[in-house]
Structure 1
Amino acid sequence: MTAPPQAINDPAHWDSLAERYADEADRLTRLYCEAAWQAVDLPQGARVLDVATGAGALLGIAVKGGADAIGIDFSPAMVGLAQERAAAIRPGNHAMVMDGQKLDFPDASFDAAFSMFGVFMFPDPIAGFAEIARVLRPGGLAVIAVWENAGGAGPAILFQEAARRLFPDRPIPTPMARLFNSPALLDQAFREVGLEPQTVHSVERPWPVQPVEWFRENAKLAFGWSPLWRDLDEQQRTAFSEEAAALAMKLPPEGIRSTAFIGMARKPA
């Protein structure tokens, strides 16, 4: 019998969170998408790909910036939201369902390809890097964003701490623990797929403190990807949410500051 996929690799999990993700998670990730877009110098009409677009934070910024942009994601619900949001900026077909490990685009199709906090979650992250390299035109730019903290960013950090406190005898998985969460590891991954590292920007932004009730209502959004969450019963999940809410009451006024590494590399001309 085949084991079910982990939530982090299951489109249905992300489908179930799509609306809330667009409302809540974009509050943080959009800040880094804006920083990534500002760091590149792309001409009007540049052909841009956004891999693992989610609800389309980077995609919308690219479309608004004048790019000929398309986003892909394996979650149909996320793609629907990304398309709706991008089309509201400029009419057109801007998003489609696709596996980032096996892109359905010809070689040398794009001037730039982004993946904002997506590729590191793939079952085979290097396949994601390799596909980005393949579809870039010679001289094209790859832009990959990852979190410095192995537990993620913003509220995810607080939920990780709640899990450690409440379930000290259980392993607490961390999505960034596998690879990439340092400039050296990012550069190594770029080189592995034949890209030439250019620079890695360290970008820190605050996640504003939310009402304590937010942490009770959004535990699945922030931690539902974890195998630990899947193994908790409803009573344990409630206790977990309450522990996160108690920790939230002690947050500083500026909220939770999180650092992302935004790595850039070029395809050899």
Structure 2
Amino acid sequence: MPSKAPAIHDPAHWDSVSTNYAAEADRMTGRYAQAAWELAALPPGARVLDVATGAGALLVSALRDGADAVGIDFSPGMVEIAQARAAEISPGRRALVMDGQQLDFPAESFDAAFSIFGVFMFPDAAAGFAEMARVLRSDGLAVVAVWENAGGAGPAQLFAQAAQRLFPDQPVPLPMARLFNSPELLDAAFVEACLRPEAVHRVTYTWPAPPADWFREHAKLAYGWSPVWKMLDDAQRTAFAEEAAALAADLPPEGISSTALVGIARKAGID
């Protein structure tokens, strides 16, 4: 019998946290999505694809600026939220359930393809990059945001620290089979997909420090995607959340600084 997919690759996991994600995490990840959208500087009316749209932060930014945009995600729960948000701005079906490793769009369909904290977590990230390149028109832009800290951002960083404290003799497993968390690694992924790297921007925001109760109530949201979570029983998960809450007590008043790398690459034009 095949083993169950890790939570990070399981649509049901993201379905289970979609409402909390939209209410909590999206408030912060949406800021990075807006920054990525502004860095792309696309003309009005551009045809835009958002791969692994989640709750639709980038999709909403694009639609508000007049882009002809559509988002895809493998989680029906996330797609439902993204579609509801998009419908407030633009009519039609703007969010679709789809595998980003095998896009159901013809080649050369989009002026730009974005993935904000999505494609780098795919089981086959190289396939995700390649599919973004395939659906781009000649001279189109690929824009990919990844976390510079391989353990994630915001509260997830505290849960990673908690794992290290609770299991000092065990390496904390990362969910990604391959890392892209440096400009060199991100550029290499673009080149592998036959895209020409243009720039990698560092974008840093500070996540407000959540109160201790937040860590008790939202441990699954912040860290349920990690292989560490699967290792723990209910009692251990409670202790894990308490450890993260204790770490939060030592945060500086401004909160948790988190940096994203926003890579931009272009599909070569036809001479």
- 1:56-95 matches, cutoff 5 A: 56-95=56-95
1:174 Cα shift? 2.5
Structure-2 separation of matches of 1:224 and 1:171: 17
Query: Which residue of structure 1 lines up, in the alignment, with residue 109 of structure 2?
Result: 109
Query: Which residue of structure 2 lines up, in the alignment, with residue 156 of structure 1?
Result: 156
SS of the equivalent of 1:143 reads strand
Query: Which residue of structure 2 lines up, in the alignment, with residue 229 of structure 1?
Result: 229
- 1:149-188 matches, cutoff 5 A: 149-175=149-175, 178-188=178-188
Q: Which runs of 4+ in 1 moved over 3 A?
A: none
Query: Which residue of structure 1 lines up, in the alignment, with residue 256 of structure 2?
Result: 256
Give ranges in structure 1 of 5+ residues lacking alignment: none
Structure-2 separation of matches of 1:238 and 1:22: 23
Query: Which residue of structure 2 lines up, in the alignment, with residue 53 of structure 1?
Result: 53
Alignment check: 8 A CA contact 1:73 1:79 kept: yes
Query: Which residue of structure 2 lines up, in the alignment, with residue 242 of structure 1?
Result: 242
Alignment check: 8 A CA contact 2:60 2:86 kept: yes
Alignment check: 8 A CA contact 1:152 1:174 kept: no
Structure-1 separation of matches of 2:136 and 2:197: 14
Alignment check: 8 A CA contact 1:7 1:224 kept: yes
SS of the equivalent of 1:191 reads helix
Structure-2 separation of matches of 1:125 and 1:177: 9
> Number of paired residues?
269
1:17-46 residue CA offsets vs partner (Å, 9 max, x unmatched): 000000111122111111111111211111
1:127-158 residue CA offsets vs partner (Å, 9 max, x unmatched): 00000000000000000000111111111100
1:176 Cα shift? 5.5
1:38-95 residue CA offsets vs partner (Å, 9 max, x unmatched): 1112111110000000010111111111100000000000000000011112222110
1:146 is aligned with what amino acid?
V
Query: Which residue of structure 2 lines up, in the alignment, with residue 43 of structure 1?
Result: 43
Using structure 1 for the length normalisation, give the TM-score.
0.98
SS of the equivalent of 1:62 reads helix
Structure-1 separation of matches of 2:243 and 2:32: 28
Give ranges in structure 2 of 5+ residues lacking alignment: none
Structure-1 separation of matches of 2:250 and 2:5: 35
Query: Which residue of structure 2 lines up, in the alignment, with residue 119 of structure 1?
Result: 119
1:170 Cα shift? 3.0
SS of the equivalent of 1:115 reads strand
Query: Which residue of structure 2 lines up, in the alignment, with residue 198 of structure 1?
Result: 198
